[in-house]
Amino acid sequence: MDLFDFIKNTIQNNFKNELQNSINNSIENAVYSNVDVIKNYKNIYIISVGKASLSMYKALINTFEKYNLSFNKALVIYDINLKDQIKDLEILENNKKLELIESTHPLVSDNSFKAAKKIIDLALEFDSENSLFLFLISGGSSSMVEDSIIPPITLAEIYKILLQVDFNIYKLNTYRTFLSNIKGGKLLQYFNKSKIISFIISDVPFNSVDTIGSGLTTFYKKLSYQEMNQLISELSQYLKILIDSKMLLNIINKNKEIEKIMENKLDYLKKNLHNFILLDNFESVYLLYNQMKNLKEYYKLNVKNKDFEIEIVSTHINLDIINLTKFFKSFIFTKLNEYLKGDIKDKIKVYLFGGETYLKVLKDGYGGRVQHIVLYLIKELYYLLINQFNIDELKNKVDILFFSLATDGKDGNTDKAGVILPIFEFFNKDISKIERYLDNFNSGIFFDNPKNNKYLINLPYGLINLNEIYGIIFDFKDYLN
């Protein structure tokens, strides 16, 4: 097993198992910490929504059984692409208290509106002082539940346009919240008496509750006059074909109407609303760090007896692909120079990074941002290093691997989680061909090619949804001796 296979197998097998364990453990710990509160309520209603809704619900029900807890009704809103996985979740079958609701991601649909109505109806019917509404929220919720005065077909087109612009997740979800009747805490307008607890898996840098899933159960924040004007101006620019002045006025009036409702709920929500973030990207990067650390002795004993060091550099990167690539390019260049100066000795060095990148999509291609950034980095490194080093000599001194990974198991419109590849191996390829794949946003087609699919990383979709993880691995050789 060489270093490439070792890293890939660690991610696809050991890391995958640890992700599943992390969900089970975090849900159990959250229930244990709140078990006295939960037991106080005669009526318990569970609402699980997002890419990880099925796995979070299963973990919760296992924990409920352990602590002899029951519930009245559960709504599990899941991505329709996970439909085939339901048959593997025995706990979901033959349960009359459970209602499974198909929805869509990343675009809203009629199903998203139907799912939101189910939640609203449940709140309206069972809101009482004896009721606990327990939300399980993960990334992807923004599109899976929606209520808006904008028709679903039009809103789907709006989402598509907004997703293609190079907005970070905070900016994107600000627009989504403004256009929605339930995001940004607006869903809470339908509650007056119940206790509301949310267990949340964060897929955004810095774990802002009002950004994760567009903040279904966050504390409502009033938009200032200036903020609303800015949103209107920007939306008019991006969506002038889809939103006319009359619709914008209706959206503004709806926001003001909800604002008045929410102003009267502040004291109630301060006493009864509790949001808990169970997992975030630090956790996923740390889990991978731990797995590599635990397995490095195996690698040293069975493959190559040399120092093997692992370091977490950052867990909350939030940069567009161009600037993130510049950062990685500079990082690699700096480490190479340190090594060639003798500052870094013969060893394997793994650097881990976590966060989220974003990309302005100009064409409807096949791929995703974690595959796109790998090709983009190859191109940028090629033009940098061939002008700075003798590449053939450099290859004899160091090997470099780079991986890019979507922890939700699905990069863009592909069914792959990510890519790991040896940098110098791609320097032998025609860079102009790589550039054509990049220009057409077809990174997925490039890696689906039988010549390149060995570099793909697979993780089960729907297991979890945290941020992306990137890794730079140097195998520095003792060329000085």
> What is the residue-level pLDDT of the chain in tens, covering all 481 positions?
688 998 999 999 999 999 999 999 999 999 999 999 999 999 999 999 999 999 999 999 999 999 999 999 999 999 999 887 776 665 555 578 999 999 999 999 999 999 999 999 999 999 999 999 999 999 999 999 999 999 999 899 988 888 888 788 888 888 899 999 999 999 999 999 999 999 999 998 888 999 999 999 999 988 777 887 888 888 777 777 677 788 888 998 999 999 999 999 999 999 999 999 999 989 999 999 999 988 887 777 676 767 889 999 999 899 999 999 999 999 999 999 999 998 888 889 999 999 989 988 888 899 999 999 999 999 999 999 999 999 999 999 999 999 999 999 999 999 999 999 999 998 877 899 999 999 999 999 999 999 999 999 999 998 899 989 999 999 998 755 4
Residue 241 confidence (pLDDT): 67
What is the distance between the alpha carbons of residues 283 and 198, in angstroms, rounded to a whole number? 19
What is the distance between the alpha carbons of residues 149 and 155, in angstroms, rounded to a whole number? 9
Residue 1 confidence (pLDDT): 66
Nearest in space to 356 (alpha carbons), one of 173, 178, 103:
173
What is the distance between the alpha carbons of residues 239 and 242, in angstroms, rounded to a whole number? 5
> At CA 277, angle to CA 273 and CA 279, rounded to 5?
160
Question: Count of H helices and E strands in the chain?
Answer: 16, 12
What is the distance between the alpha carbons of residues 429 and 453, in angstroms, rounded to a whole number? 15
Residue 262 confidence (pLDDT): 96
Residue 88 confidence (pLDDT): 62
Q: pLDDT digits over 20-67, tens only?
A: 999 999 999 999 999 999 999 999 999 999 999 999 999 999 999 999
Residue 233 confidence (pLDDT): 83
Residue 145, SS3 per DSSP: coil
Question: In the CATH scheme, what is the code of domain 281-476?
Answer: 3.40.1480.10
Domain boundary assignment for the chain: 41-279, 281-476
Residue 294 confidence (pLDDT): 86
Residue 226 confidence (pLDDT): 81
What is the distance between the alpha carbons of residues 344 and 336, in angstroms, rounded to a whole number? 9
**Model pTM score:** 0.93
Residue 237 confidence (pLDDT): 76
Task: For residue 240, give every residue at least 6 positions away whose Cβ sits within 8 Å of its Cβ, in sequence order, or none.
Answer: none
CATH architecture of 41-279: 3-Layer(aba) Sandwich (3.40)
Q: Which secondary structure element, helix H or strand E, spans residue 432, and what is its range?
A: helix 431-439
Beta bridge partners of 250: none
DSSP letter assigned to residue 469: E
What is the distance between the alpha carbons of residues 452 and 340, in angstroms, rounded to a whole number? 31
Structure tokens belonging to residue 194: 């119940």
Q: pLDDT digits over 349-377, tens only?
A: 999 999 989 988 888 899 999 999 999 99
Residue 191 confidence (pLDDT): 98
DSSP character string of 108-133: --HHHHHHHHHHHHHHHHH-STTEEE
